[in-house]
Chains A and B, each alone.
Chain A
């Protein structure tokens, strides 16, 4: 019972946080303003300055690549790899078929992987 209640609470909090982030993404996309690679601060715990710099570079590189992706690829990429949504959830949220979501994700991943390989 306790675990079950905790799970509900955790889900509620997660949904709330996700909604807030969605609102932010939505506002950011509505303003059609390009967001420059922001001052990302990857978790620094136990990392050397060099490793941290490399990490920042990788994160910024993925961000830049994601920003250049076609809109649908970028949407499914962010929903999958930032919001942790599975294919069915993304299909429901975007109105695409699951196969279409998968195909956009494959293309997005290929592009991101190629850019990541080039930048490092």
Chain B
């Protein structure tokens, strides 16, 4: 009969895979030793309860924390991004109003008169401007 289970042998049992070499001898000892059997049973029971409790608690935490976090984050993200976009667009508009040059003739006094003069000139021509060189040649002949 061997001495009580060593820490490694007990761990092997707890992992559910005793080494094949010591398996039979250790198993026989556990069968015949109430102290080792009780120790193994207690440890198993404690770890079993620990698993059950932690799983239940983890589930509970995952359910209570995951939903509000998932619901809250996108909303906050959306609101802050909308605000950022609004500020950005406003800034671009303000900068653009200073930077983009206006058309020189826009709104200048007398611009209508200049335009009318141009129209008069075009209308008073006997031939289109593109044919004027030809007309000069004809006139020379």
Contact = CB atoms under 8 A, between A and B. Distances in A.
B56 interface: yes
A24 B66 contact: yes
- Secondary structure at the A interface, as helix, strand, loop or mixed, is helix
Interface in A1-30: 17, 20-21, 23-25, 27-28
Interface string A57-83: 011001100000000000000101110
A91 B62 CA distance: 25
Contact of B47 (A39, A40, A41, A62): A62
Contacts, number: 77
A33 to B, nearest CB: 12
Interface of B: 7-8, 10-11, 14-15, 43, 46-47, 49-59, 61-62, 65-66
19 contacts: A20-B59, A23-B66, A24-B65, A40-B54, A40-B57, A41-B56, A42-B49, A59-B50, A59-B54, A62-B50, A78-B54, A81-B47, A81-B51, A82-B51, A102-B15, A109-B10, A109-B14, A113-B7, A116-B43
Interface of A: 17, 20-21, 23-25, 27-28, 38-43, 55, 58-59, 62-63, 78, 80-82, 84, 87, 102, 105-106, 109-110, 112-113, 116
